[in-house]
Amino acid sequence: MAKRFWLLGLAGLISVGLLVACGSNYNSSSNGLVLVGSQGSSVIQTFSFNLNNGHVASVANSTNDTGNQTCLLNGSPSSMVMHPSGSYAYAIFNSSSQCPNATQPGLAIFQVKSNGTVAQAGNLISLNAGVGVPVNPSTLAIDAAGKFLFVANRQTSSAPDHQGPPDVPGSISVFAIGNGGNLTELPNSPFFTPPAANLADITSVAATPTVFPGIGVNGTQNSVCSVSSNPPPTTEFLYAVDTVGYQVFEFQVDTSSGALTVPDNVTAIPSFPTDAVPVAVAVDPCDRFLYVSDSLHNKINAYTICTTVIANGVCPFPNGKLNDVSGSPFAVSGSANGLGPLVVDPYGNNVYVLGTLSNTLSGFKISPVSGSLTALTPATVPTGSSPTSIAIRGDDNWMFVTNYQSASVSQYSITPATGALSALPTITTDNYPFGVAVK
């Protein structure tokens, strides 16, 4: 009898231990958190990583558990962004043959819980139709203050099932972010580019900051703009890449409502030329420079942003006008091919861009004076097969890249002083990982 009670007691302790172990893979004081949207099972997976050594552990929806399942969420997740607070993440969900009920694209809100798991908040949010036709969402961007979510919508067709040639232009949908991470689309959203660009194909958007990076993260002040004597700007601009017209459009953002308008002192939405087939855009978090990746010739366009008046007509008004940086566009060296998503690190020191056809990641140092780019050493590091998305943690120490065909995420540690990347062991994911966000 005593032996049986001892065995029962031991079993109970083991059960408690297993429960603790399942919930102990994430501790916000010592771990970061990576969210990965995988299209194979239509699932959001979460992984913790140790902030000292980068060691990764599965937290929720482990690959072993989801590998043989389909349509765990109603649709196919693609682009994903994390709210600056780290409390919520947003993802685009598209229709999927595996999920018969997912007939229209929409946005999903995920609450990021303290134990590292995520839970969808409410149902999928539909987007307002543009000119009578459902929009075709491609990528997401969120402003530095966490007030607005912007959606880049690609051109589409008004034919049944949208299978005909494109005849509906791309656009930008805007959502106000409320309490609890809730989204409310603006009544006059989506916003369109000028009629002369009526078939613009908007692939990426980026907003200028109204909040500068924090001071002294991890004991190091890496951002040139994070000083008490340098207040952040009160004016906000949004830039949208048109991959068909080889241009970047500029809108002014109403910082109260989020509405997109014509910038001050101009009469129409301005546009600025890029190199061939631009794909993605990123804004320097110090509100100085803008960068665009161009996929045909594998170059990066660099621009200064007019935020102060400069003589000789360079910046006659502080209205967000773009001016080419000397030497732009900058070629990406080595084997990089098919440039795609790019990011500026959270302190405005470096630019990183994916080579989607070469399975590479290239880095550049930003000149804090001119905005020109100089290749890092090494200039290019390998990723997995078909990299699709890239995210950097706010402390500027960790980077993650989803590899669509490799069912993996590449993880890199960043040397803050140089921007150099060091590859860590890859993270095995469910099939076809696409979007990634990091906390």
pLDDT of residue 216: 58
- Mean pLDDT, residues 140-149: 97
Looking at residue 398, which CATH number applies to its domain? 2.130.10.10
Distances (CA, A) of 316 to 26, 291, 308: 51, 22, 8
Q: Nearest-CA neighbor of 293 among 273, 278, 274?
A: 278
325 found inside a domain: yes
- How many domains does the chain contain in total? 1
Residue 182: is its pLDDT beyond 50?
yes
Please give the Cα distance from 237 to 281 (Å, whole number).
13
pLDDT of residue 10: 39
Find the radius of gyration of the CA atoms of the chain: 22
pLDDT 10s digits, 354-386:
999 999 999 999 999 999 999 999 999 999 999
402 found inside a domain: yes
Distances (CA, A) of 11 to 16, 18, 23, 235, 324: 9, 10, 19, 62, 68
If you search the block for the tokens 């149902």, which residue do you land on? 123
pLDDT of residue 6: 38
420 found inside a domain: yes
Domain hosting 210: range is 127-438
Give the pLDDT band of residue 97 (cuts 50, 70, 90).
confident
93 found inside a domain: no
pLDDT 10s digits, 7-24:
334 333 333 333 333 445
Residue 101, token pair as written in the block: 């009920």
- Mean pLDDT, residues 147-169: 87
pLDDT 10s digits, 296-321:
999 999 999 999 888 888 999 999 99
Enclosing H/E stretch for 398: strand 398-403
pLDDT 10s digits, 414-437:
998 899 999 999 999 999 999 999
Do residues 249 and 200 lie in contact, with contact meaning Cβ atoms separated by under 8 Å?
A: yes
The CB density around residue 5, as the number of other CB atoms within 10 Å, is: 9
pLDDT of residue 405: 97
Residue 286: is its pLDDT beyond 90?
yes
122 found inside a domain: no
pLDDT of residue 222: 61
pTM of the model: 0.92
Do residues 373 and 331 lie in contact, with contact meaning Cβ atoms separated by under 8 Å?
A: no
Specify which residues 148 forms β-bridges with.
176
Do residues 202 and 280 lie in contact, with contact meaning Cβ atoms separated by under 8 Å?
A: no
Please give the Cα distance from 296 to 302 (Å, whole number).
16
Mean pLDDT (the chain, rounded): 89
Give the pLDDT band of residue 125 (cuts 50, 70, 90).
very high
269 found inside a domain: yes
pLDDT 10s digits, 237-247:
999 999 999 99
95 found inside a domain: no
Specify which residues 77 forms β-bridges with.
93
Q: Strands, E, within 306-359: which ranges?
A: 322-324, 330-331, 339-344, 350-355
